[in-house]
Structure 1
Amino acid sequence: MSLRRGLRYVKPQAPPTRNIKHMMAFIEQEANEKAEEIDAKEFNIEKGRLVQTQRLKIMEYYEKKEKQIEQQKKIQMSNLMNQARLKVLKARDDLIADLLNEAKQRLTKVVKDSGRYQTLLDGLVLQGFYQLLEPKMTVRCRKQDLPLVRNAVQKSIPIYKTTTKKEVDIHIDQDTFLPEDIAGGVEIYNSDGKIKVSNTLESRLDLIAQQMMPDIRTALFGANTNRKFLD
């Protein structure tokens, strides 16, 4: 028996087509799942980044709004405080103005006392002479005060001459008088009328009030704690 007859030839079998397809489907499914997993991770990362970015923007926006609201509150509070302070100051000024008006009304009582008023006119006339120190001066007064002013001028001229060692020519204006609505006093002018000393009772009261205003305010409203200088 020959060797060729003794061996049996076995033809190799190809893998079944179904198994290959199954393996390919499994690999493809695994690849798709991995791809979806990667996509999901990347999506979550991007989503987290976007959420964090928007969260920071929102926080920054509301912080900015909060600061704006706080600033507006401060401005409104400052405006309200300034308005209240101005109202207080106006009320104080109105009170002082009322007191000054009342004091001006009381000046009429001084004028009614002829002896007291004559003494006052003497001082006002002489003081006006000293303030001008002019060789020629004109005195103007109310019409009803003309006799008293003449007496004051006659008394003041020799005193002025003795004190200043100068001659003086005094003219009492009998054509133009001070308004009737003032309490009294005099106005004294130099020769050309360009320089005037106002020694009316109202002007003297205003001057005294201006000089004493810090004391008046302290007496009415107490010491000013914000004031640093007293003169």
Structure 2
Amino acid sequence: MNDADVSKQIQQMVRFIRQEAEEKANEISVSAEEEFNIEKLQLVEAEKKKIRQEYERKEKQVEVRRKIEYSMQLNASRIKVLQAQDDVVNSMKDAAAKELLNVSHDHHVYRKLLKELIVQSLLRLKEPAVLLRCRKEDLNHVEHVVHSAKEEYADKAKVHAPEIVVDSIYLPAAPSHHNAHGPFCSGGIVLASRDGKIVFENSLDARLDVVFRKKLPEIRKQLFGQVAV
């Protein structure tokens, strides 16, 4: 083989190597492009997922805040309704308390009431000796009925007539413009055992409180009905 043949064969080998290299380079380039596209797609999808998750998180936060705000507004409305209802009920009780002041104006009727209150209190206490407290302005009325009251109690309870001592300390007077915010009593009596361990408050104001507590559900139903708040 002469020099020309050797040179020709070398050139063929070079072309073949170059072609192989180009094909391999092209294959590497295509493979790299594919890997790049796959990785890019994965990154894009991952970012999309993060964005969706962030959006869902913020959407849930907004929904929670909306529910909290709605609940707060609903509770505020309920409180306003209940407060308005309480104001109405309390105004009724205040009106009733003012009417109590008129009870003692009719002496005949009031003395009869005082006697009934004393008898009722004696029946509750069932003590042989008691201490009776009343308003200073009611002292004359009480002294007028106390004997007949204890005799009536003795007859009803089938016991000896008890000893009733009228206390020298009096219940507060009726409310007035001069003492609008101090303690007051609209009438009635308070009875206690002589040792003071048992006390039965039978003043008109105490009876009004008892009636209102007992009748409050009925009062609310009549005033407001079955109001859902």
Same-fold status (TM-score > 0.5): yes
* Structure 1, 178-187 or 13-22: larger mean CA deviation: 13-22
From 143, 154, 171, the counterpart of 2:165: 171
Q: After TM superposition, give the deviation of residue 23 of structure 1 in Å.
A: 4.1
2:151 corresponds to 1:158: yes
Measured in 1, the distance between the counterparts of 2:133 and 2:191 equals 6
Deviation at 1:22, TM superposition (A): 4.2
Superimposed CA distance per residue, residues 34-74 of structure 1 (whole angstroms, 9 cap, x where no aligned partner): 11110000111111112212222221222122222212221
Mark the runs of 5 or more structure 1 residues left unpaired by the alignment. Answer: 1-9, 227-231
Letter in 2 for 1:14: V
Taking the TM superposition and a 5 Å limit, the aligned residue runs for 1:1-231 are 11=2, 13-16=5-8, 20-167=13-160, 168-173=162-167, 175-180=168-173, 181-224=184-227
Q: Secondary structure at the match of 2:6?
A: coil
Deviation at 1:18, TM superposition (A): 5.1
Separation in 2, partners of 1:223, 1:150: 49
Give the Cα separation in 2 of the matches to 1:164 and 1:13.
151
Q: Structure 1 residues 118-127 or 65-74, which shifts more?
A: 65-74
Could you list the per-position Cα deviations for residues 75-119 of structure 1 after superposition, in whole angstroms to 9, with x for gaps in the alignment? 221122112111211111122112111110111111112122112
| Equivalence for 2:179 | none
Normalized against structure 2, the TM-score is what? Answer: 0.87
Give distance in 1, aligned partners of 2:228 and 2:72. Answer: 22
User: Which whole-Å CA distance do the structure 2 matches of 1:225 and 1:94 have between them?
Assistant: 18
Once the two structures are superposed, residues 158-189 of structure 1 have per-residue CA deviations (whole angstroms, 9 ceiling, x without a partner) of 1111111212111111x200011311110001
TM (normalized to structure 1)? Answer: 0.86
CA spacing shift, 1:223–1:155, aligned 2, 3 Å: farther
In structure 2, how many angstroms separate the alpha carbons of the residues matched to 1:61 and 1:39?
Answer: 32
The percent identity for this pair of structures is: 33
Task: Kindly report the root-mean-square deviation, in angstroms, between the aligned alpha carbons of the 2 structures.
Answer: 1.9
Whose radius of gyration is greater, 1 or 2? 1
CA distance in 1, matches of 2:218, 2:5: 127
Divergent runs of 4+, >6 A: none
Amino acid at match of 1:134: E
**Inter-partner Cα distance in structure 1 for 2:80 and 2:139:** 45
